[in-house]
Amino acid sequence: MNTSERAVASLGLHHVLPPYMLEHLAENGPERLREAARADLAVDRQLRSARAARPIARYGTAAEAADTTPNRTVYDAKNRRQLPGVEVLREGGQPVSDIAVTEAYDGLGATFTFWWEVFGRNSIDGNGLPLDASVHYGRDYDNAFWDGQQMVFGDGDGTLFNRFTVSLDVIGHELAHGVTGAVRDLVYEGQSGALNESMSDVFGSLVKQYAAHQTAEEADWLIGAGLLAAGVQGTALRSMKAPGTAYDDPNLGKDPQPATMTDFVEMTDDNGGVHVNSGIPNRAFYLSAIGFGGYAWEQAGRIWFEALSGPGLSTAATFTEFAAATVAQANTLFGPEAGAVVADAWGQVAVEVVVELPEGDDPVVDVTQTESGAEAGAE
């Protein structure tokens, strides 16, 4: 990735549908969908270029920060590609018959509620940022994205993908990119980019679990459940519980996510595999949540957020560094037993974590990656 590409990638444009799915569809799908996939890939490139010339989302004002209720506006793009479109529902407005508008509005609200009630965070920037979304973007557009300013949802093609407002975790995922950008703008390439994507999967899943009042054991740990149309061979876009098993379909290919560092994928596409290798930290979070039991946001979620937002994490953090940060936070927040749960989770994905707690001293964390992650460090 060259300097200009890296700059554009950091501006905040994030798509929930990974590019390799669209690329496979463009080559192997039905002819009508192949043409649409090529158009979508071209549009995504144009959007990235356009983002380079636009400022990122403004932060909330002091007045907005004082108001701890959501400030939502949903627009209808009318199947065009101009944003935001026509306003159709503002905060507190009368319900509308358009299901996509309702799902977007409710999803923004559920995400706001999660961040406020669980973390005391007032909107995604912590300062009351208004939450805007546009639905019916483009024609048969197979994606949803956060562009640094608002959410945008396509309707799907109706053959392989349903409308992209249907999955609450997708909405939570995209808005979590805004949170990550605000608290620790992880460089969107390589391992730090995979962590960026993983954070969105983690908190997107937690938004869904919190809204459904599900324990870690009850949750499906799928990202994008409901997005795949009837007849597609798969259950979702990704599985945090079992990376690499979410789908295997002739039109979309096979889920390429590895579950451990031994299968880490070295690649230049997808910003160095940010959507692919995110399966590794995703599974580490799942294993931590299951290890703690109960509601995943209470311990595992808090540990992950504190590790992300803590002062010691670099914006180019590797899996090694983030693993060390999570174990250190687990020890600090919940004690050595919690640290052992998190260390074991990373060990199961082939990122070994050794924690020493000398009496009277701060925790010392030694992390060793195996195989393709062969590097060691100590804190």
Helix axes 300-309, 168-183, angle to 10 degrees: 40
d(CA 56, CA 81): 19
Per-chain mean pLDDT for the chain: 86
Mean pLDDT of 73-83: 96
Centroid of chain to Cα 144: 12
**DSSP label at residue 93:** P
Active site residue 14: no
The mean pLDDT of 349-363, rounded to a whole number, is: 62
| Percent of residues, the chain, with pLDDT higher than 90 | 71
- The whole-number pLDDT of residue 44 equals 65
Q: What is the mean pLDDT of residues 28-54?
A: 66
pLDDT of residue 373 exceeding 70, the answer is no
Check pLDDT > 50 for residue 148.
yes
Predicted local confidence at residue 42, as pLDDT: 75
Work out the pLDDT band at 354, boundaries 50, 70, 90: low
Beta strands in 82-219 (DSSP E): 86-90, 131-135, 144-146, 151-153
User: 3-273: which CATH topology?
Assistant: Elastase; domain 1 (3.10.170)
Residue 2 confidence (pLDDT) above 70: no
Digit-coded pLDDT (tens) for 253-265: 999 999 999 999 9
**How many C-beta neighbours within 10 Å does residue 87 have?**
13
> To 10 degrees, the CA torsion angle through 206, 211, 217, 222?
-60
The DSSP string of 249-316 is ETTTEE----SSGGGPPP-SHHHHHTTTTTHHHHHHHHHHHHHH-S-TTTTHHHHHHHHHHSTT--TT
CA distance 261 to 243: 12
The side-by-side arrangement of strands in the sheet containing 144-146 is 14-15, 144-146, 151-153, 131-135, 72-76, 86-90
Residue 8's pLDDT band, with cuts at 50, 70 and 90, is very low
Per-residue pLDDT, 66: 61
SS3 content of the chain, % helix, strand, coil (to 5): 45, 15, 40
pLDDT band at 83 (very low <50, low <70, confident <90, very high): very high
In this predicted model, which residue has the larger pLDDT, 29 or 231? 231
pLDDT in tens, 136-146: 999 989 999 98
DSSP annotation string for 167-178: -HHHHHHHHHHH
Element (H, E) at 248: strand 248-249
Q: Which pLDDT score, from 0 to 100, does residue 11 have?
A: 40
Predicted pLDDT of residue 12: 53
The one catalytic residue in 14, 189, 275, 306 is 275
Phi and psi based region of residue 322 (left: phi greater than 0; alpha: psi -120 to 50; beta: remaining): alpha
Q: How confident is the model at residue 47 (pLDDT cuts 50, 70, 90)?
A: low
Does 377 score more than 50 pLDDT?
Answer: no
- The pLDDT tens digits of the residues spanning 179-194 come to 999 999 899 999 999 9
- How much is the pLDDT for 24? 85
Residue located via tokens 């608290």 = 183
Q: Which residue has the higher pLDDT, 279 or 35?
A: 279
pLDDT value, residue 245: 98
Q: For 43-47, 61-65, 338-342, 373-377, which range has the lowest pLDDT when averaged over its residues?
A: 373-377
More confident site: 212 or 270: 212
| Amino acid in position 185 | D
Predicted local distance difference test score (pLDDT) of residue 294: 98
Q: Which listed residue (174, 306, 321, 352) is catalytic?
A: 174
pLDDT band at 68 (very low <50, low <70, confident <90, very high): confident
**Annotated catalytic, 136?**
no
Structure confidence by residue, pLDDT tens digits, 156-179: 999 999 999 999 999 999 999 999
pLDDT beyond 60 at 64: no
